[in-house]
Amino acid sequence: MNSIVASLAGWGVNVAIALTALRTNLMRSILTTLGVMIGVFSVILAVAVGNGAQVSVTQQIATLGSNMAIVVPQPDSGSGPPRPNDRGRLTERDGQAILRQVSGVRAVAPQIRNSVQLVTPGRSATTQATGATPEYGVVSNISASEGRFLTKSDVGSAARVAVIGQTVSDKLFGDDSPVGQTIRVNRVPFTVVGLLESKGSNLGTDNDDQIVVPITTLRQRLLTTPTQGPDDVTLLFVGFEDEDALLAGQKEIKNLLRDRYRVQKGKINPFTVRTTTEIAETTGQVTQIFQAVLVAIASISLLVGGIGIMNIMLVSVTERTREIGLRMALGAKRSDIRNQFLVEAAVLCIIGGAIGLFLAMLAATIFQKVADFPAPVGIDTAIFSVAFSAVIGLLFGGYPAIRASRLSPIEALRSE
């Protein structure tokens, strides 16, 4: 116990000596910590932005719904995204067949999408119109916060009704309730029957900037690009009961559609089936690579800061040669001299790391408020950054410390 206390006391003395040395050359110490400070600041901000990208992607996928497969009429290009210039075909009848024949399916939501112009007295907006059925709300976990969502009778009668997002409501009606109001969609009058629950924005995409109308109404009155058939759709959302059913159902959907379109063996599918799980995994890999690149670039600053620490510590050893010789003459061991300079380098880096951490957290907070983009700095990241700063000090201060401990006491005392 006594040895532990003595050891701690010894390290405490080294810290005190280090702080005194840093105060003696205050300006040089400040300039030396800049490299570490900038390095830690860059690395933490890179990690925060990377984590924010992952959070945004996760939130974006969550807005689509869980345990869902997305079927689009574009040839399957393997693990990559569908090729936008190639078009296949997909119909509402395909969706009905999937609902009847694929096990574990909870609901199928066919959709047609088209850009539209919205007009109210004195105001206008351009947004994305989604022609859908009531199942769209079930599969995508969306509902109306005011009024109601679409009904089967709306779809069956091709009613001119619409459910709008919060952004559209703000643009057209301000603070007034949109429910019961009339808007013109591509010059066609529609009655607003509901206001969608707000989904927020992710990665620059405003999920509330949309309008949902019955799929039959959009096809008959708002579709600007003709389709191949009377029940063609832009895509199908297929909701499953659970993740196990989703994994098995993806293969069943592919087999069913291959049979319906008589796709020969060895030929590529004229459609693409992706699951929300696959999308999450793919985007997660992309954001991880993005984060790794950012951290690698930012780490260069830490490397430069570490080299600066080594350079300054070598200068410090040269300037304090007589002090080292005097301490050795008074009985200091080589390990005491080595530890003194190691602690000095570590304290210098910890101070720089702490300042860099504070500035990174401040910048992340400002970034979140200004850019509306999450940039979380976790407690684990904060602790690791300060600890890593100390390691940088020990690594790059190691050579100067060992060099100081190997000085000859006699030669050191003779130094001018």
Mind listing the pLDDT tens digit for each residue in 282-341?
777 777 787 778 777 777 877 888 888 888 888 877 777 787 777 777 777 787 778 777
Q: Confirm if 183 and 141 have CB atoms less than 8 A apart.
A: no
DSSP result, 281-327: HHHHHHHHHHHHHHHHHHHHHHHHHHHHHHHHHHHHHHHTHHHHHHH
Range with lowest mean pLDDT among 9-18, 185-194, 211-220, 258-267: 9-18
Q: Of 246, 270, 294, which residue constitutes the final position of a domain?
A: 270
pLDDT top residue among 194 and 379: 194
Total domain count, the chain:
2
Q: Looking at the domain assignment, is residue 81 inside a domain? A: no
Q: Looking at the domain assignment, is residue 151 inside a domain? A: yes
pLDDT band at 406 (very low <50, low <70, confident <90, very high): confident
Q: Of 247, 270, 293, which residue constitutes the final position of a domain?
A: 270
294 and 398: one domain? Answer: yes
- Say whether pLDDT at 120 is over 50: yes
Residue 149 Ramachandran class (φ > 0 left, ψ -120 to 50 alpha, else beta): beta
- Say whether pLDDT at 162 is over 90: yes
Q: How many CA atoms lie within 13 A of 138 on its CB side?
A: 14
113 and 260: one domain? Answer: yes
CA distance 395 to 389: 10
CA distance 368 to 370: 6
pLDDT band at 188 (very low <50, low <70, confident <90, very high): very high
- Say whether pLDDT at 2 is over 80: no
Average pLDDT of the chain to the nearest whole number: 81
Q: Looking at the domain assignment, is residue 119 inside a domain? A: yes
Q: Looking at the domain assignment, is residue 123 inside a domain? A: yes
Q: Confirm if 233 and 92 have CB atoms less than 8 A apart.
A: yes
Instruction: Give the pLDDT score at 306.
Output: 82
The predicted model gives 121-144 an average pLDDT of: 90
- Say whether pLDDT at 192 is over 80: yes
91 φ/ψ angles, rounded to the nearest 5 degrees: -130, 165
406 and 349: one domain? Answer: yes
pLDDT band at 65 (very low <50, low <70, confident <90, very high): low
Q: Looking at the domain assignment, is residue 39 inside a domain? A: yes
Handedness of CA 71, 75, 78, 81 (dihedral sign): negative
Instruction: Give the pLDDT score at 5.
Output: 47
259 and 289: one domain? Answer: no
332 and 391: one domain? Answer: yes
Residue 19 Ramachandran class (φ > 0 left, ψ -120 to 50 alpha, else beta): alpha
Query: What percent of the chain shows pLDDT beyond 70?
Result: 86
362 and 240: one domain? Answer: no
pLDDT top residue among 202 and 328: 328
Q: Confirm if 301 and 45 have CB atoms less than 8 A apart.
A: no
Q: Looking at the domain assignment, is residue 71 inside a domain? A: no
Q: With CA atoms as reference, report the closest residue to 357 among 319, 389, 309.
A: 389
pLDDT top residue among 326 and 137: 137
222 and 124: one domain? Answer: yes
- Show the DSSP H helices in 144-261 as ranges: 152-156, 166-173, 215-217, 243-260
Residue count of the chain, please give it. Answer: 416
- Say whether pLDDT at 4 is over 60: no
- Say whether pLDDT at 108 is over 90: yes
For residue 285, what are its two tokens?
Answer: 């890999």
253 and 307: one domain? Answer: no
Q: With CA atoms as reference, report the closest residue to 211 among 115, 130, 125.
A: 130
Instruction: Give the pLDDT score at 373.
Output: 73
For residue 58, what are its two tokens?
Answer: 């996760």
What is the extent of the structural domain holding 231?
89-270
- Say whether pLDDT at 203 is over 60: no
Cα Rg, the chain, nearest whole Å: 33
- Say whether pLDDT at 9 is over 60: no
Number of helical (H) and strand (E) elements in the chain, helices listed first: 14, 12
144 φ/ψ angles, rounded to the nearest 5 degrees: -90, 130
225 and 190: one domain? Answer: yes
Q: Looking at the domain assignment, is residue 262 inside a domain? A: yes
| Helix or strand (DSSP H, E) at 213 | strand 210-214
- Say whether pLDDT at 374 is over 80: no
- Say whether pLDDT at 351 is over 80: yes
Strand partners, 126: 117
202 and 238: one domain? Answer: yes
Q: Looking at the domain assignment, is residue 224 inside a domain? A: yes
Q: Of 249, 270, 291, which residue constitutes the final position of a domain?
A: 270
Instruction: Give the pLDDT score at 241.
Output: 87
Hey, what's the torsion of the CAs at 30, 32, 34, 37, to 10 degrees?
-100
201 and 296: one domain? Answer: no
245 and 380: one domain? Answer: no
